[in-house]
Amino acid sequence: MSAEPGEANHDGGVLVLAATPIGDPRDASPRLAAELAGADVVAAEDTRRLQRLCAALGVRPAEGGRVLSYHDHNERSRTPELAAQVAAGARVVLVTDAGMPSVSDPGYRLVEAVVAAGGRVTCVPGPSAVLMALAVSGLPVDRFCFEGFPPRKPGDRARALAGLAAEPRTLVFFEAPHRLEATLQAMADAFGAGRAAAVCRELTKSYEQVVRGPLADLLTWSREHPDQVRGEITLVVSGAEPVAADPDEAHAQVARRVEAGERLKDAARAVSAQTGVSARELYAGYVHRPTS
């Protein structure tokens, strides 16, 4: 039996990645409610949040089925069990706390396991903090890339951002409130203080706020208004403008960064990303520079 267009096919097992509201429960679709009620198994990142969502939707999760926890701490151990359920013919619905499972949330391992076993995977589309932040940022959205959470350690974060300094596409990041100031500083260092960006927080919620401006201004805002740096944050940063490389200036930039205390290898990599001049050439140029 084949399903009509837009109608779920319940023949055989299937993994359903179900997007949940990122804030306002009214953004949930009727299809999400139907999937939660009709699943054989609902795997949830937080079962308490699932219960609150189902209460708002007026449904009982997995009525006649099971509700299981599936989060960062048990994802590896629980994946084989859930993949086996799909292989045995169950309809397994996976939900995370907000947005689409596997996008900076648990789910990738389960998708990988089900696909490797020849199983079927589908999804219930829904709200996305990435797409909403892009839409309201005021920055170009014709081409973009999603980078998730920047590394937590300062050195790792600086290196990761340096590698993105010459990226021409609009960049989207997630960040925790207590790390926002440090990340904005690192972005200003890597991308330039004048790079346009937007801090989008608490999207679709009562205190939704979008602050737009150069990275330097956003950094000042985060320092002067710590009371507003709360909730879930999505950062959108404009891509790099194409520039004609000046090898002499690139070498001078490396020298200045090294003299300021940066490791030569990191300085060469960062300036290479910004200018297009070979990192190896910049490294060698500094090592063999004339000295008086």
Domain spans of the chain, in order of start? 14-126, 130-237, 247-287
End-to-end CA distance of the chain: 83
Please give the pLDDT value at position 37: 94
**What would the two tokens of residue 79 be?**
């994946």
Residue ranges for the chain with pLDDT beneath 70: 1-11, 243-244, 292
Strand order of the sheet with strand 14-18?
66-69, 41-44, 91-95, 14-18, 121-124
Is the CA virtual torsion 245, 251, 256, 258 positive or negative?
positive
Please give the pLDDT value at position 3: 38
Domain 14-126 has CATH 3.40.1010.10: yes
Please give the pLDDT value at position 9: 44
Q: Specify the DSSP class assigned to residue 99.
A: B
Helix (H, G, I), strand (E, B) or coil at 15: strand
CATH top class, domain 130-237? alpha beta
Please give the pLDDT value at position 244: 64
Please give the pLDDT value at position 64: 81
The answer to whether the beta carbons of residues 68 and 95 sit under 8 Å apart is no
The answer to whether the beta carbons of residues 249 and 230 sit under 8 Å apart is no
pTM, full prediction: 0.76
Q: Measured between alpha carbons, how far is 281 from 30 in angstroms, rounded to an integer? A: 58
